Amino acid sequence: MTGMQLAAAAGALTILGLVLLVWRLSPAEPDLGDALGRLSPRQQRSSGDVIVGSARERAGQWAMQRLPAGTWGKVPTRELALLRISRSWFYGEKVLYALMGMLIPPLFTLFFNAMNLGIPLVIPVLGSLACAVGGFFLPDYNVRDDAKHARIEFSRALGAYIDFVALERNAGAGPRQAMEVAAQIGDSWVFKRLAEELARTRWSGVTPWAALHALAEDLALSELDDLADIMRLSGEEGAQIYTNLRARSASMRTSMLNAEKAKAAELSERLFIPMSMLGVVFLALLVAPSLLRVMQGG
């Protein structure tokens, strides 16, 4: 290793140390919600019930207590609530992914050096920093992608739930009874989530449609908010909502069908490009011998 490479590596490590030192000594602006959540025994129990004693949970609790609140950037709160993932588990996953990313380049460097392939020190140093940053933000992408699929699944199940509520109302059940009975029919996580929210309203004194409205705001589910508005009209004003419920479920199914058709059309367009390239290669193979003979004859 040359002196220039050693100087570059030493400079990079020095700058990294100064940045970490300034970052550690900078005054933190604590998040009031996180602070109150850590002080609440109920919150600690609920987070511990997700994965008891897991490495992610312990790492996340350690990071929440010692790292500044601005370290995490924009936290996908609604996505975490939809997936029922605690913040400590999410933070722990970010920390562990960053540590794993930091260790990958040195391991590859040791492997290549064992094969007598000299690699400059600056490469694993920069690679560790890049992989650590990438690993730190990878859980954000995973959570948002999982939440996107969960919202699609929620919309599909909610369409069936609305139909069940409409049938119960048409059979003469009251608004609360219709919503609770319909939630007990399905066994998916969507029906169980709705059943839990409705059961909680019996003891909290909140109306079922108000609870669904709050849940729709917390999880960013516009379809559930529409259902809450329809049920509020029935519960507070005594409106007949059977037709409205059936029309809403039909509209949701039509919207999902159109989305599936658009996705299928997009996939068909993507398949057209490689097929066209194969056709071009096939034509080139047919024409190439004739062109070679013409060129040789010329």
**Per-residue pLDDT tens for 153-185?**
998 899 899 999 999 888 888 888 989 999 998
Q: What gap in Å lies between CA 87 and CA 105, rounded to an integer? A: 29
Are 158 and 39 in contact by the 8 Å Cβ rule? The answer is no
224 against 269, higher pLDDT? 224
DSSP string, 208-275: HHHHHHHHHHHHT-HHHHHHHHHHHHHHHH----HHHHHHHHHHHHHHHHHHHHHHHHHHHHHHHHHH
Specify the long-range contacts of residues 16-20, CB closer than 8 Å, at least 24 apart.
Answer: 16/129
Are 126 and 109 in contact by the 8 Å Cβ rule? The answer is no
Count of beta carbons in the 10 Å neighbourhood of residue 101:
20
278-297 pLDDT, tens per residue?
777 777 777 777 777 777 76
92-132 pLDDT, tens per residue?
888 888 888 888 888 877 777 777 766 777 777 888 888 88
pLDDT for 187 equals 86
The answer to pTM > 0.75 is no
pLDDT for 24 equals 52
**Band of the pLDDT at 206, cuts 50, 70, 90?**
confident
58 against 195, higher pLDDT? 195
Q: Which of 49, 126, 130 lies closest to 85 in space, CA to CA? A: 49
Rounded to the nearest integer, the mean pLDDT of the chain is 77
Statement: residue 229 has pLDDT above 60? yes
Average pLDDT over residues 184-199: 90
Average pLDDT over residues 135-147: 91
pLDDT for 37 equals 46
